A and B are shown apart, each in its own frame.
Chain A
Amino acid sequence: MHGHGKHKEALKAGEKWLVLVGNPNVGKSVIFGALTGRYATVSNYPGTTVEVSRGTAKIGGQRFGIIDSPGVNSLVPMSEDERVTRDILLNEDIGSVLQVMDSKNLRRGLLITLQLAEMGLPVTLALNMYDEAGERGITIDADGLSRSMGLGVVPTIATQRWNLDKLFDAFTHRKSPDFNVAYHPNIEEGIKRIGGLLPAARISNRSLAIMLLSNDTTLNDWVAESAPGATAGIEQIRTETQARFKEPIGYIINRTRLKTVDSIVEKVVRQEHTGKSKLSTLIGSLSMHPVWGVPILLAVLFFMYEFVGVLGAGVSVNFFENTIFKAYLNPWTTRVVEYVFPSGLMHDLIVGPYGIVTMAFTYAIAIVLPIVGFFFIFFSFLEDSGYLPRLAIMVDKIFKLMGLNGKAVLPMVLGLGCDTMATMTTRILETKKERVIVTLLLALGVPCSAQLGVILGMLGAVSLAATLWWAGSVVVVTLLVGYLASKVLPGESSDFILEIPPIRMPQLSNIVLKTLVRVEWYLKEAVPLFVLGTLLLFALDKTNALKYLEAAGSPVIVGFLDLPVETTKAFIVGFLRRDYGAAGLFALQKDGLLTPNQVVVSLVTMTLFVPCIANFFMIVKERGAKAAVWMTLFIFPFAVLMGGALNLILKIFGVTL
């Protein structure tokens, strides 16, 4: 939900990186955090890390550079996040690789080990989640594995930091495993021929030739750059080789590797049937059960409403806003400021109706912060439990209507945390079409934690019926836009293939740490924008432009949406951040200026309102400036239109909430 990508660490000359590689959701980020002391987001679902994190580990007074990479199932990338990892191996100055694997799933882990060995990289294996393997009656002969593959093997339990100190050798390990898979003679011939066309690279010639022979199109750019003119030759060899087989070459190569892996696994893994069934397994099965899954989903939503909306937005906001700010902080500040600046511009700038303390800080710290804090706690718990991928199973059919599949629920739910980071997470989706649709839906219909919290707080004060009207409207609009987008946009949808991790009891320490990191991120990212928005309002007010804007917006806001004219300023700051706009509505509601119907109409409009500035720039980065502008141009009038439509519907049917 927050990236460390901007943080660039550099290495001194002669130093090399250690890279953490492995299948998704095996604990790379936990190990990264433990070795570097820096926090990388850790959750219990595949695809948490979509960006590269860099850090340094200090061992015996020496410093070593270490890179955390997104999880992969193959080093021939099939999605953008997998490509990030492959590109690190291809382009970075790598000294050694620490492959983290799930001890329960040795077979899939070793499939990657073979590819790393093929690349000629020095590999050390961390057999992580060693305890979970034990619980399932799986025993692994680590020495045997080490001997048969010629590399270091260390059993670990990263979350308990068990045996992590034994991983230190991996940093200085420079000997690549001498283990090679022999493929079908026809394929070997193709490898040799393609290899002859390639220049020397950071990874072995053989591995590159194998990837190209498997038709890895993501390497096209690399070929065009490093071996100009070889493209046609490679393509010809590939076609010739493929003509000799009925199945795709990549598939045959993979099957040969699996056969090799299976023969190793057979030697080193022993499986006993424990016959024990754990409570967590039962919960895991029930939460994706066709019948029981539904009440569980509703219970999760209801608990979120109670915890974030009622406890967070009600009780704790009351405490922060009324007790801390209104009773103490604001009067004190006002007294101090009045002492220094009895009146005038500076006075109003700090404690006036659009003052930095009385408005920006009150909104950011007193209203939004407690709410996002509660939301982050709840959300971290959900993330770490392993529930989210199960949710994907429950909603797969609905998402199919929008040209997506259940996997897209992951970025969408992450959007409830922060749409900006969720936009980056769309990398886990396989086709461009899916990424565009999810990006649009995130910008349109998914309220971020801050906004959602404020909204739940406002609706919690009205009624459950109002909440359902709001949620229903937003869901229907999102589904509709998703459905239409899937019909209009060109491109393909991808297969629904999603790994479901085991249900785990979240660790308190990780929840606390993750919540703190996110709160810090919120303060850094949101507060400056809140201040900026307040300055904007302040300037508009002082120059009387606010009145003109209110007058100009009034046909739409008063006439079409039936909202009081004061809401105009909430929508103005909504252009900067939707949660700030929502906080403005929250304050109006508290002052008794909004009827329940107006609350729902204004909230639906604000929920659908333009993406915040940070999200806008993330869309530019991930999808391009053109897409970002088009999306915003579509969303803004559309949001107002939907708010007006809802207002009409409520009026026609005479609904009073």
Chain B
Amino acid sequence: MAGNKAVEEVLEFIWSQREQGSNSVRQLLGIEEVAEEADIKTLEDMGRAGLVNISGDNIVLTMDGERLAEAAIRRHRLAERLLTEVLAMDEASIEKNACSFEHTLSPEVTDSICTLLGHPPTCPHGLPIPRGNCCKKERGEMKPIVQQLNALDVGESGRIIFIASNSHMRLDKLGTLGIVPGSTLRVHQKRPAFVIQIGETTLALDPEIIKEIYVKKIF
């Protein structure tokens, strides 16, 4: 049952419903994508397989269900990042591809993608990506192609791939200073405060902002 695509989809939706603060069966089945793949019988099957517990209108993940859902969500959101930032696909094709992508990724490939992207904390929609083993380990042999700006050394340059910030205000402010994906910047110094250079502008930036800027190093 675990490898079943429909079941994985449903688990993912239970997870994201929970992020929005809901655990209602009725609401879950009301989602179009869920209704296409499953009905109340599927949920009951999943309950018997020990993936979810259903009582009345409430549905919660069991330990096993939790583990599967987390892995599936992680694959899905990493796939979205990969398609958006690295392959620069447009919105419509991202969703379609991310959905088929996620069911075929092995754990090793998932971790490689995560490392490659510099262990991004959120998907392009700003939702958290569950951490994997690779995120906890110190950097391995594989060099990420995308990394947090603070991973660059003083004097190195990078092209901004994405900015993982949920603060609109911050994105707007950075935008007016020309700090947007595609721009190139250079690390001038890291202490006592982080200073970057973008064009002929020298800017001091908070370490929290620096951590949200993901760049591809330019050699």
Contact = CB atoms under 8 A, between A and B. Distances in A.
Interface of A: 73-74, 76, 78, 102, 104-105, 107-108, 111, 133, 136, 138, 214-215, 246-248, 250-251, 254-255, 258, 285, 288-290, 293, 389, 392-394, 396-397, 405-406, 495-502
Given A108-B178, A258-B180, A290-B192, A498 B203 contact: yes
B195 A105 contact: no
Contacts of A500: 195, 202-204
Given A393-B193, A406-B193, A254 B177 contact: no
B50 interface: no
B200 A111 contact: no
A397 to B, nearest CB: 6
B209 interface: yes
B178 A397 contact: no
Contact of A497 (B126, B173, B200): B173
B206 interface: yes
B168 A248 contact: yes
Given A290-B191, A393-B192, A499 B201 contact: yes
B180 to A, nearest CB: 5
Given A495-B206, A498-B203, A74 B192 contact: no
A44 to B, nearest CB: 13
Interface in B188-219: 188-189, 191-193, 195, 199-206, 208-209
Nearest to A258: B180
A250 B175 CA distance: 9
Contacts of B193: 288, 392-393, 396-397, 406, 496
B178 A248 contact: no
A133 B201 CA distance: 12
Given A254-B180, A495-B209, A406 B172 contact: no
B203 A105 contact: no
Nearest to B179: A497
Contacts of A250: 168, 171-172, 175
Interface string B111-152: 000000000000011100000000000000000000000000
B1 interface: no
Contact of A246 (B125, B172, B191): B125
Contacts of A497: 173-174, 177, 203-206, 209
Contacts of A392: 193, 204
Contact of B170 (A107, A108, A246, A495): A495
Contacts of B192: 288, 290, 293, 393-394, 396-397
A105 B201 contact: yes
A73 B177 contact: yes
Nearest to B197: A500
B31 interface: no
Contacts of B191: 290
A495 B172 CA distance: 12
Most chain B beta-carbon neighbours within 10 Å: one of A248, A289, A389, A406: A248
A105 B200 contact: yes
Interface string B176-189: 11101100000011
9 contacts: A73-B177, A74-B172, A104-B200, A105-B199, A105-B201, A107-B178, A108-B201, A288-B195, A389-B204
Contacts of A73: 173, 176-177
Most chain A beta-carbon neighbours within 10 Å: one of B126, B169, B188, B208: B169
A108 B183 CA distance: 12
A405 B199 CA distance: 24
Nearest to B126: A246
B117 to A, nearest CB: 17
Contacts of B174: 497
Contacts of B124: 246
Contacts of B208: 495
Nearest to B191: A290
Interface string B19-62: 00000000000000000000000000000000000000000000
A247 B85 CA distance: 14
B172 A251 contact: yes
Contacts of A76: 172
B19 to A, nearest CB: 15
A499 B206 contact: no
Which 10 pairs show the lowest CB-CB distances between chains A and B? A104-B200, A74-B176, A254-B175, A73-B176, A290-B191, A500-B202, A248-B168, A496-B206, A396-B193, A393-B193
A250 B180 CA distance: 13
B28 to A, nearest CB: 21
Contacts of A290: 189, 191-192
Contacts of A396: 192-193, 204
A247 B178 contact: no
A404 to B, nearest CB: 12
B78 to A, nearest CB: 16
Given A78-B172, A497-B177, A136 B200 contact: yes
Contacts of B200: 102, 104-105, 133, 136, 138
Nearest to B84: A246
Contacts of B195: 288, 393, 500
A144 B169 CA distance: 35
Given A254-B176, A497-B177, A405 B206 contact: yes
Nearest to A79: B173
B173 to A, nearest CB: 6
B204 A498 contact: yes
Contact of B178 (A111, A133, A215): A111
B173 A495 contact: yes
Nearest to A400: B206
Contacts of B126: 246
B209 A499 contact: no
A250 B125 CA distance: 16
Contacts of B201: 105, 108, 499
A459 B199 CA distance: 46
Contact of A251 (B168, B199, B203, B205): B168
A514 to B, nearest CB: 24
A250 B195 CA distance: 25
Nearest to B123: A246
A104 B199 CA distance: 8
Contacts of A293: 192
Nearest to A392: B204
Most chain A beta-carbon neighbours within 10 Å: one of B126, B173, B203: B173
A543 B126 CA distance: 73
Contacts of B178: 107-108, 111, 258
A258 B175 contact: yes
A459 to B, nearest CB: 28
Given A105-B200, A290-B192, A496 B168 contact: no
A254 B172 contact: yes
A496 B172 contact: no
A108 B175 contact: no
B171 A111 contact: no
A625 B203 CA distance: 36
Most chain A beta-carbon neighbours within 10 Å: one of B169, B172, B205: B172
Contacts of A248: 168, 171-172
A475 B13 CA distance: 55
Contact of B175 (A102, A255, A394, A498): A255
Given A105-B200, A215-B168, A246-B124, A285 B206 contact: no
A275 to B, nearest CB: 15
Given A78-B172, A248-B168, 20 more contacts: A73-B177, A78-B169, A104-B200, A107-B178, A111-B176, A138-B200, A255-B180, A258-B180, A288-B195, A394-B192, A396-B193, A495-B173, A495-B205, A497-B204, A498-B203, A499-B177, A499-B201, A499-B203, A499-B204, A500-B195
